[in-house]
Amino acid sequence: MSTDSKPILEVKSLHKKFGELHVLRGIDLTVNKGDAICLVGSSGSGKSTLLRCMNFMELPTAGSVAIDGNLVGQESGSFEGAPVFEYKEKELIKVRTQVGMVFQQFNLFPHMTVLDNVMEGLVQVRKMNKEKALDIARENLKKVDLWEKADQYPSRLSGGQQQRVAIARALAMQPDVMLFDEVTSSLDPELVGEVLKSIQDLSRGGMTMVVVTHELGFAYHVAQHVMFLHDGVIHEQGTPDEVLKHPREERTRAFLTGFTDFNF
Amino acid sequence: MIEFEWNFALLVPFWGNFLRGALVTIELSVIVIFSSLLFGIFIGMARYSSNKWLNIPATVFVEIFRNTPVFVQIVWFFYAFPVIIGIQMEGFIAAVLGVGLNMTAYTSEIYRGGIQSIHKGQWEAAKAIGMPYASTMRRIILPQAIRRMIPAFANRIIEGAKATALASAIAVGELLHEGELLAQALYRPLEIYTVIAVLFFILIYPLALWSYWLERRLRTDEKVKL
């Protein structure tokens, strides 16, 4: 094993503005191999935007993102002391295959079967032949326990099953890190567990991940590191025990008292 | 009621004229429909694009052809356009340009509306697995959008087939024009225009039946719910 441990993903002084709205105000975040990092905070705190900047679904206004030690983009100026970058679409396409993402709304392709959903990126983006793509798709659908639904269309599946297919679709691209954006927020309560379990299994299997979630119990059990965002800055961070059980900051405490059903 | 003795038997020897006209109507319709369905995709995508070099010309095109009568367009392409480009133009070509470009303006709007109706999550999901714009459009967006566009296309196709009759004004030998010629020769306009109307109905009604069938099929095709 190499002892050279470059972070898989490193964000420095990240800023994001939507027009006049300054959503992220200088965020630093380092993701090492095998990490499970949870981002928590109230709506509008910027946690989803931060996640979406990490795979360039949103382009950062300023600040750097490095994947496997390689800076993404060309430096072209500065903003509030942070470097500003220009990005080429080709480069971003490559980055997105290294950083997988799962969405709140699943966003499965409704006109394709479960299997075709998972194979699409392999065949179209990775230019893999069908047999090899099928092998990888099968392996990943088995990981989320849905191989038996391979020939179904998404509309025939429950929300929880659809979300697990979305996880398999992202996993199939064999990303270095997975981003989960409130993936249980649009599920019926009884379906949340199966999705969280799939994510927990992945984490135990060594998958590196950054998870935006309102499920604090999940954050407590799965994350090694919890970050509390407020008004576009990281207000408090540490182990789940430090941040969720013994918060130092007043804001963190105020946020946590909003969760009455928060059991460990 | 006015005394008038209908005599359709008189027209029987001229069935060849009607057939010739019907064939030209079909030919004109097929060309206009297929080319507008094809070119409409590109104009529609250009209209949807945020790139102003694509968007502005496409918008100008659509607005010009949607907001002038198709009849005026046909006449303009026959009389004025040849003067501008300096070559004589056959009536048939002028009719293809007039009806075809008008149709393209409409089909492009159907494409644009259909593309816009697809949830942005579909674009994001494709982007997140590294799909570039063109393959996202081809593999993810259009296959879903086209299903939603089918009823609108069916209407448009029927409109297009009917609009070909306007080409009679520039002496294109389609069904109506053949009828006009016969009417002048035989002095039996009532029978002739009645036959023409019935023939148009026979040609176009199957398109309406086809559109009902498609709509029914789309409704019952549950397994792919969009």
- Chain mean position to CA A113: 24
List the single residue in A93, A103, A124 with the smallest CB-CB distance to B124.
Answer: A103
pLDDT at B222 over 80: no
What 8-state DSSP symbol labels residue B137?
I
User: How does B141-156 read in b/e, with b if 16+ C-beta sit within 10 Å?
Assistant: bbbbbbbbbbebbbeb
* Cβ–Cβ contact B226 with A under 8 A: yes
Cα dihedral sign for A196, A202, A205, A207? negative
Amino acid B146: pLDDT: 86
Question: A129 falls in which pLDDT band (50, 70, 90)?
Answer: very high
> CA A160, CA A183: separation in Å to the nearest integer?
10
pLDDT of A5-36, one tens digit each? 789 999 999 999 999 999 999 999 999 999 99
> CA A133, CA B208: separation in Å to the nearest integer?
43
Q: Does the distance separating the beta carbons of B144 and A96 come in below 8 Å?
A: no
> CA A103, CA A117: separation in Å to the nearest integer?
15
pLDDT of A198-250, one tens digit each? 999 999 999 999 999 989 999 999 999 999 999 999 999 999 999 999 999 99
Average the pLDDT over A117-139 and give the result.
96
Amino acid B221: pLDDT: 59
Predicted structure pTM score:
0.83
Amino acid A124: pLDDT: 95
∠ CA A10-A13-A16, rounded to 5°? 105
Amino acid at B109: E
Q: Does the distance separating the beta carbons of A57 and B131 come in below 8 Å?
A: no
pLDDT at B226 over 70: no
∠ CA B5-B11-B15, rounded to 5°? 160
> CA A176, CA A193: separation in Å to the nearest integer?
25
List the single residue in B121, B130, B223 with the smallest CB-CB distance to A96.
Answer: B130
What is chain A's length? 264
Are A121 and A173 contacting, i.e. CB atoms less than 8 angstroms apart?
yes
Checking DSSP bridges between strand A209-212 and strand A177-181, what pairing results, if any? parallel
Q: Which residue has the tokens 């492009």?
A: B108
**Sheet with strand A36-40: strands edge to edge:** A99-102, A177-181, A209-212, A36-40, A225-230, A233-238
Q: Does the distance separating the beta carbons of A94 and B130 come in below 8 Å?
A: yes
For residue A91, give the 3-state DSSP assignment. Answer: helix
What percent of chain A lies above the pLDDT cut of 90? 86
Checking DSSP bridges between strand A21-31 and strand A9-18, what pairing results, if any? antiparallel
pLDDT at A43 over 90: no
What percent of chain B lies above the pLDDT cut of 90? 80
Amino acid A2: pLDDT: 44
Question: B211 falls in which pLDDT band (50, 70, 90)?
Answer: confident
φ, ψ for residue A194 (rounded to 5)? -65, -35
Are A129 and A165 contacting, i.e. CB atoms less than 8 angstroms apart?
no
> CA B129, CA A174: separation in Å to the nearest integer?
10
Give every CB contact of residue B19 below 8 A, 6+ residues apart in sequence. Answer: none
ipTM of the shown complex: 0.90
List the single residue in A105, A110, A169 with the smallest CB-CB distance to B226.
Answer: A110
**Average model confidence (pLDDT) for chain A?**
92
pLDDT of B82-135, one tens digit each? 999 998 889 999 999 999 999 999 999 999 999 999 999 999 999 999 999 999
Q: How far is B65 from chain A (nearest CA, A)?
A: 34
Average the pLDDT over B134-156 and give the result.
91
Q: How far is A195 from chain B (nearest CA, A)?
A: 18
> CA A228, CA A16: separation in Å to the nearest integer?
17
List the single residue in A93, A103, A105 with the smallest CB-CB distance to B130.
Answer: A93
Give the mutation candidate from A103, A120, A123, A140 for the B interface (greatest B CB count, under 10 A).
A120
User: How does A182-219 read in b/e, with b if 16+ C-beta sit within 10 Å?
Assistant: bbbeebeeebbebbbebbeebbeeebbbbbbbbbbbbb
Amino acid B223: pLDDT: 52
pLDDT at A69 over 70: yes
Are A73 and A12 contacting, i.e. CB atoms less than 8 angstroms apart?
no
Give the mutation candidate from A93, A136, A157 for the B interface (greatest B CB count, under 10 A).
A93
Question: B150 falls in which pLDDT band (50, 70, 90)?
Answer: confident
Give the mutation candidate from B117, B124, B129, B141 for the A interface (greatest A CB count, under 10 A).
B129
- In which region does residue A245 sit, left (phi positive, over 0), alpha (psi from -120 to 50) or beta (all else)? alpha
Question: A261 falls in which pLDDT band (50, 70, 90)?
Answer: low
Amino acid B225: pLDDT: 53
Amino acid A120: pLDDT: 97
Long-range CB contacts for residues B63-72, cutoff 8 Å, separation at least 24: B64/B105, B65/B101, B65/B102, B65/B104, B65/B105, B66/B102, B66/B105, B66/B106, B66/B109, B70/B98, B70/B99, B70/B102, B70/B163, B70/B166, B71/B166, B71/B169
* Cβ–Cβ contact B206 with A under 8 A: no
Amino acid at A46: G
What 8-state DSSP symbol labels residue A74?
E
Amino acid A107: pLDDT: 96
Burial class (CB within 10 angstroms; exposed 0-12, middle 13-18, buried 19+) of A44? middle
- In which region does residue A78 sit, left (phi positive, over 0), alpha (psi from -120 to 50) or beta (all else)? beta
> CA B115, CA B157: separation in Å to the nearest integer?
19
> CA B42, CA B181: separation in Å to the nearest integer?
39
* Cβ–Cβ contact B116 with A under 8 A: no
Are B114 and B149 contacting, i.e. CB atoms less than 8 angstroms apart?
yes
